[in-house]
Amino acid sequence: MLYISLFLLFLAFIFFWQSNRQRQAAGLPGGRVIYTDTRGWGKLEKPLFYAPLELTGKPDYLVQQNGQIIPVEVKSGRAPEAPYDSHIYQLASYCLLVEKTYGKRPPYGIIHYETRDFAVDYTQELESSLLDLLAEMKRDQHKKDVPRSHEQASRCARCGFRKVCDQRLL
C-alpha cells in the first residue's frame, strides 16, 4: 500500500513538474496562491476598451492596493493546481486594459476560484505572449477553416457553438 501511495505521489509530482515546464516554455507565469480580502473589491460599471487592439473586456472586480489597480477574474468550480492558460490570458488582457485605461500598469492580477486565489504576475513576457495570441486570433478571423486547439471534452460541453461545430469532442 505504501509503495502504491509513493508511486502515485511520484506520478503527481511528475505531472505537476511537466505542466509547470510547459507553461514556463510558453512564457506564462504559473501564479501563486494568495489570501485576498474581498471587502476591498469594487464592481465595474462598464467594460474597458482599447481601440488600437479592438480589445474589450470587463474584469469581475478591480481592487485598489497601494496606489495600484488590480483586476480580479472570478471563476466557478474547484481550483486547479495552477490557473488554466485560458484564464491567465483572460486576466492578462484585463491587465492590459487597466493599464491603457488608467495609465497604471498592474504588477499582477488575481484569479479567484471557489477554493483558492492565485496572483498572476503581469510580466513583459506575458504581455508579449498575449499580443502574439491576439494577432494570431485576428489572422484566424479571416480563415475559413480553423482547427480545434484543445482536447477538453468538458470545454466543448459548455460551448455555445457545439450545435454547429463539426470538431466538438462530445
Residue count, binding to ligand SF4 (CB under 6 A): 9
- Give the three cell numbers for residue 167: 470538431
168 in contact with ligand SF4 (CB under 6 A): yes
Kindly give the residue spans of alpha helices, DSSP state H, lying in the chain.
Answer: 2-25, 85-102, 124-141, 153-157
Three-state secondary-structure class, residue 148: coil
Q: What angle do CA 132, 135, 137 make, to 5 degrees?
A: 110
Selected range binding ligand SF4 among 39-47, 69-77, 88-96, 162-170, rule: CB under 6 A? 162-170
Shortest Å distance, C-beta 159 to ligand SF4: 3
Span 120-159, contacts to ligand SF4 by CB under 6 A: 148, 155-156, 159
Minimum distance, C-beta of residue 86 to ligand SF4, in the bound complex (Å) = 11
Residue 80 in contact with residue 113, Cβ under 8 Å? Answer: yes
167 belongs to the binding site for ligand SF4 (CB under 6 A) = yes
Q: Which is closer to ligand SF4, CB of 128 or CB of 167?
A: 167
Nearer Cβ to ligand SF4 (45/151):
151
Residue from 103, 142, 143, 161 in contact with ligand SF4 (CB under 6 A): 161
Q: Does 105 bind ligand SF4 (CB under 6 A)?
A: no
DSSP assignment letter at 53 = G
Question: Do β-strands 61-65 and 55-57 pair in parallel, antiparallel, or remain unpaired?
Answer: unpaired
Q: How far is the CB of 164 from ligand SF4 (least distance, A)?
A: 8
Query: Strands 108-112 and 68-74: what pairing?
Result: parallel
Q: b/e for 18-27, b at 16 or more Cβ within 10 A?
A: eeeeebeeee
Closest distance of CB 75 from ligand SF4, Å: 17
Question: In the complex, which residues of this chain contact ligand SF4 (CB under 6 A)?
Answer: 148, 155-156, 159, 161-162, 165, 167-168
